[in-house]
Amino acid sequence: MLRHGLRKLCPLDIEQFLPPQIRGGLKLTFLAMGNSFCNTLEIPPPKGPNSAGCTDFMMDNTEQGSFFRLYYPCQRIDKAEMPDWIPCREYFNGLADFLKINRTFSERIFNCLFGSFKIPAYSDAPFKSNEKCPVIIFSHGLGAFRTLYSAICTELASQGFIVAAVEHRDQSASATYLLRQKSKLETANKDSSKTSLTDTLVREWMYYRSLQRGEQEFPLRNQQVQQRAAECVRALHKLTDINSGVPVQNVLHTQFDWKTLENSMDLGRVAMMGHSFGGGTAIEALAKETKFKCAVVLDAWMFPLKDETFPQVNQPIFFVNSEKFQWAENIKRIKKLDSSDVERKMMTIRGTVHQSFPDFTFLTGDFIGKLMKLKGDLDPEIGLDLSNKASLAFLQRHLGLRKDFNQWDRLIEGDDENLIPGTNVTLLQSAI
C-alpha cells in the first residue's frame, strides 16, 4: 500500500515497464514531442479583481531561516515582468534526480519543455490593496518547490489574499538552496571596495533525499513533516514582523519594497493550505499554531502524521480530493479528523488526478498529459476553478471574510456535476 501511495506522489509518475537507464529519457522525449505541437500552453491567468504580484524572500543564509515566494494583490505597471516558472537550471537538476534520470539529458528536455513558461504574476510589482489582506501559508508536495503551484497562488492573490508559498528545506523539495558566505579564496580576486553583500554570498544547493536501502520510511517522513510545519509557522512569524514594521533583511535583494506591507495584513484571518505532503504539513501546522484558523488540504498524504497529532487539531478543515489518487487507508486516516465540534468537509473532483493541482497539468498537451498522468479526463482549468472557488467559499466561512465567495457554498457540499460529495473511495475495500 505504501509503495502504491508514494508512487502516486511523483510529479511525472514514471512507469515501471522500461529499463531504468532509458525509462526517463523516453518518457521525456515523448513529452517534448507532444509539447512541440502545443504552442498555446500556459498557466491560466488569475480571475480575481486584483492583479497578482510576486517576490521572493529569504530571511537569512542558514537552514533555520525562512524561504518563500510571496504572492499579493499589486499595482500593475507597464515595466513589470512576469518571472520564469522554473527559476534556474538547478531546479531542473533536482527534478531529474527526483525522477532518477540523467541530469544532462533531462536539463535540455526540461528547458525545451518548460523553460519559456512564465508565472502569471508581476515580479516585484508594488503592493496595492484597499483593505487589510487575509494571509495563507502554502506548503508544496513531495519533490516540488515554491513556484509549482502558481495557478492556485496567483488566483488567491487576485482575490485579495497574501500568500507565502514556502520552499521546504527538509530535503523533500526536489531542489532548494541556502546562501553561505564565500571563502576568502573565493573572494580573493574581488575588489573589496566594490564588493556588495550579494557578491559575498554563494548558493549552496540542497536536493531531494531518497529513502536509503533498508531505511524505514515513517521516521523520515514524520521528521520532515515536523520540520515543514515549523517552517510554515516561521513564515507566519516573519510576515507578522513585516506587518508590524519590524525592519527585515531579505538576503535575496529583490526590488520589492517590503515596507509597503506594514499594517497590510489581517493576522486575525490566517489559514494553511497545501497539496499532498503539503496537505499533511497543513494539518501538522494546525496542531502547532492556533493562529491558523482553518486549512484547505488538497489531496492530502496522511502517512507522515502521527495518530497523536489528530486530537490536537481543533480548526476547521476542507479536504479537496482528486478522483484517482486516494485509497482506503489514506481516507480512513482523514476520517480520524471527523468532528462534531468543528466543520470538517470533503469533496472529490471527478476526472482529476493527483497532478491536477500543480501547474504541470496546464503545461502539457492533452494526449501526453494523460499518458504521463499529469491530466485527468476533466479540463484542468475547470477542475482547478472548482477547487479554487470551493476553497474561497470555505475560507470566507471560517475566516469571517466580507466577500462574495459564499456564492460558491454549494461546491463545498459537492453540489456540481463534476463533484462528488465526500469521497469516491469505498472504505470497506482493502487498502490497494
The order of strands in the sheet holding 317-322 is 122-123, 51-58, 67-74, 162-166, 133-139, 265-275, 294-298, 317-322, 344-349, 419-421
Instruction: Check: CB of residue 134 under 8 Å from CB of residue 396.
Output: no
Secondary structure of the chain in the HEC alphabet?
CHHHHHHCCCCCCCCCCCCHHHHHHHHHHHHHHHHCCCCCCCCCCCCCCCEEEEEEEECCCCCCCCEEEEEEEECCCCCCCCCECCCCHHHHHHHHHHHCCCHHHHHHHHHHHHCCCECCCEECCCECCCCCEEEEEEECCCCCCCCCCHHHHHHHHHCCCEEEEECCCCCCCCEEEEEEECCHHHHCCCCHHHCCCHHHEEEEEEECCCCCCCCCHHHHHHHHHHHHHHHHHHHHHHHHHHHCCCCCCCCCCCCCCHHHHCCCEEEEEEEEEEECHHHHHHHHHHHHCCCCCEEEEECCCCCCCCHHHHHHCCCCEEEEEECCCCCHHHHHHHHCCCCCCCCEEEEEECCCCHHHCCHHHHCCCHHHHHHCCCCCCCCHHHHHHHHHHHHHHHHHHHHCCCCCHHHHHHHHCCCCCCEEECCCCCCCCCCC
Selected catalytic residue, list 276, 322, 356, 387? 276
Is 78 among the catalytic positions? no
Selected catalytic residue, list 299, 356, 387, 391? 299
**What's the burial of 215, exposed, middle or buried (CB within 10 Å: 0-12/13-18/19+)?**
exposed
Selected catalytic residue, list 140, 168, 275, 354? 354
Please list, in sequence order, all residues whose beta carbon lies within 8 angstroms of the beta carbon of residue 104, skipping any fewer than 6 positions away: none
Instruction: Check: CB of residue 274 under 8 Å from CB of residue 298.
Output: yes
State the Cα–Cα distance between residues 142 and 256, nearest whole angstrom.
29
Is 299 among the catalytic positions? yes
**Residue 166 forms beta bridges with which residues?**
68, 139
Is 140 among the catalytic positions? no
Q: Please list the active-site residues.
A: 276, 299, 354
